[in-house]
């Protein structure tokens, strides 16, 4: 009889907890999308894991940045339990997303908490270049970002800047030592990519400067 009562008690506990967890999960990602940091803080204070991922595998902090829910992103980044390097299935980390969204205070906070500046494949510096995010790009360079980091397709941050960035950002990467002669897996240089992106004027400038740069 005691064993039966204990079994019934365990069932009661299980059915009480699981719906609450499911509700918390839904509430968490609703609050992320709504940019409601107070709700996030209450849920985490009650024991919800801030590193939970949505059905697409997006961690809460990365999902917040995709949704431009910057209040939630800052709240999550401050939480000691948050893994600031937890990436989504595409390999995007919170610092990469902060870079492409040009969120300087958030990028500073993530770095203070130990976020990786350099990593295999796409890097935060690639994302800052693609996002035309000069303040974050400057921060990353100051923190030791590899100026000629190579993405899986062979592209460097300079190549991304040549496609998407303003000329000042391109110049900043060159001043930091970017290799103008580097080519991607398809044998295209920064000059080639600028031209292919309908930026012939920039492509011509980069090609002329690459011709004067010493081979590496």
The CATH number assigned to the domain holding 200 equals 1.25.40.20
Interval 177-189: pLDDT, tens? 999 999 999 999 9
Average pLDDT, the chain: 91
69-124 pLDDT, tens digit per residue, is: 999 999 999 999 999 999 999 999 999 999 999 999 999 999 999 999 999 999 99
> Same domain for 24 and 81?
yes
Find the CATH number of the domain harbouring 27. Answer: 1.25.40
Residue 110 lies inside a defined structural domain of this protein: no
Residue 52's domain comprises 1-86
Asked whether residue 159 is assigned to any structural domain, the reply reads yes
Residue 141: burial class (beta carbons within 10 Å; 0-12, 13-18, 19+): buried
pLDDT of 1 strictly over 90 = no
Please tell me whether residues 82 and 145 are part of one structural domain.
Answer: no
Given 36, 71, 86, the domain boundary residue is 86
The answer to whether residues 136 and 79 belong to one domain is no
Q: pLDDT band for position 23 (50/70/90)?
A: low
In a domain, 74, yes or no: yes
Residue 28 near residue 46, CB atoms below 8 Å: no
Residue 182 located in a structural domain: yes
pTM of the full predicted structure?
Answer: 0.88
State whether 12 and 82 are in the same domain: yes
Number of domains in the chain: 2
In this prediction, residue 55 carries a pLDDT of: 95
If we measure between CA atoms, which residue out of 142, 81, 117 comes closest to residue 94?
117
Task: Band the pLDDT of 214: cuts 50, 70, 90.
Answer: confident
pLDDT value, residue 107: 98
Instruction: Give residue-wise pLDDT tens across range 138-177.
Output: 999 999 999 999 999 999 999 999 999 999 999 999 999 9
Q: Phi/psi at 23 (nearest 5 deg)?
A: -65, -40
């Amino acid at each position: 009889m005691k064993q039966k009562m204990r079994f019934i008690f365990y069932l009661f506990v299980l059915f009480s907890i699981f719906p609450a967890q499911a509700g918390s999960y839904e509430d968490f990602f609703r609050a992320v999308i709504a940019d409601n940091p107070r709700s996030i803080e209450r849920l985490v204070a009650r024991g919800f894991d801030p590193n939970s991922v949505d059905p697409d595998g997006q961690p809460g902090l990365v999902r917040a940045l995709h949704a431009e829910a910057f209040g939630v992103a800052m709240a999550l980044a401050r939480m000691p339990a948050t893994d600031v390097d937890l990436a989504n299935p595409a390999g995007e980390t919170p610092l990469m997303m902060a870079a492409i969204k040009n969120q300087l205070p958030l990028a500073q906070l993530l770095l203070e908490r130990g976020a990786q500046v350099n990593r295999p494949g796409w890097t935060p510096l690639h994302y800052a270049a693609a996002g035309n995010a000069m303040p974050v790009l400057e921060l990353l360079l100051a923190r030791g970002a590899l100026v000629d980091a190579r993405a899986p397709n062979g592209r460097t941050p300079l190549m991304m800047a040549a496609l998407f960035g303003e000329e000042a950002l391109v110049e900043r990467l060159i001043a930091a030592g970017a290799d103008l002669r580097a080519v991607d897996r398809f044998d295209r240089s920064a000059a080639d990519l600028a031209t292919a992106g309908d930026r012939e004027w920039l492509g011509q400038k980069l090609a002329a400067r690459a011709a004067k740069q010493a081979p590496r």
